[in-house]
Chain A
Amino acid sequence: MLLEVNNLDVFYGAIHALQGISFNIQKGEIVTLIGANGAGKSTTLRTISGLIRPRNGSIIYKGQDITTVAAEQIVRMGISHVPEGRKIFAPLTVKENLRMGAYTRNDPEEIKASMERVYTSFPRLRERENQLGGTLSGGEQQMLATGRGLMSRPELLLLDEPSMGLSPILVQEIFNIIKEINSQGTSILLVEQNAQMALSIAHRAYVLETGRIALEGDAREVSNNPQVKAVYLGI
């Protein structure tokens, strides 16, 4: 078991955002959390990566309790979070953004090699290497955010809405890359509103409804569920 989330309770002030959710990720898997706006998907990721503290429950990563570990330490343990809205450092160049992704690492040669790998996956980023992050298009920013997330060489990648605001062609491209990243051994927790795309590449899925897990199972099973079909897939 790579990650195990048990009975997580998260509050935003008086709002009970996560109401005792539990799920897990096995090594090598793509697991997706799908659900409507406000269901608590991003909150879940932010809690795992340490930006939010849960009130109850635990997060176990590789057998270690990381529930109260600070965000800047969690990256060092091998979890990388590509946040919602990309959160590119706009005044930094593409290269500098990637450099910050590798902040936890110190070997310049290996960092260079990782950067090279990111440029191979996203040739557009190489073309824009010295351009400011803020000047990139939405798709390029998503590529940069994903590449930056990979620069810490994570074992677990948390992706929050990678398809947001992208054209269908770009969405396809991004998802192909996610699959490729996964095939190279990185486990992925994917949060998506685009349930159809997410279910098409995931191994397993959890459906989140107003802070609770309403349904879980094999991605194919979930996508064949009549309710999921009606509500999330629009079939």
Chain B
Amino acid sequence: MQKVSSQPSPVIHEPKASLAWIGQLFLVAVALLALYLVVSNLIKNPILFTQFVVSGLQLGFVYAMIALGYTMVYGIVKLINFAHGDVFMVGAFVSFYAVSRFNLHKWPETAFPGISEGLAVVIGSITVMLLSMIVCVMMAVTIERVAYKPLRDAPRIAALITAIGVSFFLEFFGALNFVFSPRFIPYDRPFEVVAWYIKDGIHRITEGQAPPDNSVTFSNIFIIIVLASILVQFFLQFLVRSTKIGIAMRATSFDKPAARLMGIEVDRVISFTFAVGAAFAGLGGVLYAIAYSSIYTQLGILPGLKAFVAAVLGGIGSIPGAFVGALIMGQAEALTMGYISTPMRDAVAFTILIIVLLVRPTGIFGEPEKEKA
């Protein structure tokens, strides 16, 4: 909103304007440096570069699954649900218990002894993922009911602080010895990792064998993450575009009183939105744990925050934006790890956040928020 003032006040604006070039120059320098790093390394060793891109894609597609939940929930209740990353963590832990304690992934072999091994692994793994998703959905819906719904009419900052509180609660409650324990826990995968390298065609890497130099390697987990994430994206597009509840979600996010006049149960639609986001986060948690094979109660913090940055980068509230933002974040992180240093990976994520907020606060696909009269 531009304020109309009768008296011009040029004095206040002048110092701002004269200093702005320093910031702009800095941003341009950062951008040029990043571009130089990327291009020079791409030319120097395109194969190594491709390898980093592959690991960046794996990260990016995981972030995409989390970022969707951030952006959907923000779209409908204008809340940054900081507990979302911890829902992701719970998803990983549920699958850990299902696999390591209860052997849930083995159920098809027990129930149908004659079943082929491959099919048994697929069904077993999908069961584990579904269980994690269901637990995450129930948890997120409960969190929404208990912590956010009573604050629906409170100032937005109250709900935001509550979300941070819920996030801490999940992390530290989970760290109690009788819950998940505060330790790093090695994660047993429900299926074997199979890796391939690309050099003169695609070859399988046998166990104990190191891939040859100048080759790009990838694993079945990479393929599963990419496929699952794309599937989730298409499912969500379909849901939001073509189903009654999806259209109601968009109507509710645009105008709640008008939605109520249509007979839309706004509270139910909000719960449903939390549920869908949590299901994706739960799936992401399982895949993340399978890919990186070690879990602990704070594992959701950084992926959660990076997915949040991804959602902001893409334009918070925009579903394709979250997807694109997440892929960019994955690349930024992987290339930083490869060419600058591994500890810099987190710093880069938040540098991107700062730059987005400075240059284009609405993100890539975002539109400026309408002020309602």
Contacts and interface: CB of A to CB of B under 8 A. Distances in A.
Interface of A: 49-51, 70-73, 75-76, 80-81, 83, 87, 89-92, 96, 99-101, 103-104, 148, 152
B250 A75 contact: no
A92 B250 contact: yes
Given A51-B260, A73-B263, A75-B263, 13 more contacts: A71-B257, A72-B260, A72-B262, A72-B264, A83-B257, A83-B258, A87-B257, A89-B251, A91-B250, A96-B250, A100-B247, A100-B251, A101-B262
Contacts of A51: 257, 260-261
B258 to A, nearest CB: 4
A92 B264 CA distance: 15
Contacts of A103: 244, 248, 262-264
B254 A100 contact: no
B261 A99 contact: no
B260 A71 contact: yes
A120 B265 CA distance: 30
B316 to A, nearest CB: 15
B260 A91 contact: no
Nearest to A149: B261
Nearest to A85: B373
Given A92-B247, A103-B244, A87 B255 contact: yes
A76 B250 CA distance: 21
Contacts of B250: 89, 91-92, 96
Contact of B254 (A81, A83, A89, A152): A89
B263 A90 contact: no
A91 to B, nearest CB: 6
A69 to B, nearest CB: 12
Closest A-B pairs by Cβ, 10 of them: A75-B263, A104-B263, A87-B258, A71-B260, A103-B262, A103-B263, A89-B251, A100-B262, A81-B261, A100-B251
A75 B263 CA distance: 6
Contacts of A101: 262
Contacts of B251: 89, 92, 96, 100
Contacts of B262: 72, 75, 100-101, 103-104, 148, 152
Interface of B: 244, 247-248, 250-251, 254-255, 257-266
Contact of A83 (B248, B261, B265): B261
A161 to B, nearest CB: 15
A49 B247 contact: no
A148 B264 CA distance: 13
Contacts of B259: 100
A92 B254 contact: yes
Given A87-B257, A90-B254, A92-B254, A99 B247 contact: yes
B163 to A, nearest CB: 25
A144 to B, nearest CB: 12
B261 A49 contact: yes
B184 to A, nearest CB: 45
B263 A89 contact: no
A72 B266 contact: yes
Contacts of B265: 72
Contacts of B260: 50-51, 70-72
19 contacts: A70-B260, A72-B260, A72-B264, A75-B262, A75-B263, A76-B263, A80-B261, A83-B257, A83-B261, A87-B257, A89-B254, A90-B254, A91-B254, A96-B247, A99-B247, A100-B248, A103-B244, A103-B264, A152-B263
A70 B268 CA distance: 14
A89 B261 CA distance: 12
B264 A89 contact: no
Contacts of A89: 250-251, 254-255, 258
Contacts of B263: 72-73, 75-76, 103-104, 152
A100 B255 CA distance: 12
Contacts of B255: 87, 89
A72 B251 CA distance: 14
A149 B265 CA distance: 17
B264 A100 contact: yes
B254 A99 contact: no
Contacts of A71: 257, 260-261
A91 B253 CA distance: 10
A153 to B, nearest CB: 12
A101 B244 CA distance: 11
A71 B267 CA distance: 12
B257 to A, nearest CB: 6
B107 to A, nearest CB: 37
A100 B244 CA distance: 8
A59 to B, nearest CB: 16
Contacts of B266: 72
Nearest to B254: A89
Nearest to A80: B261
B292 to A, nearest CB: 38
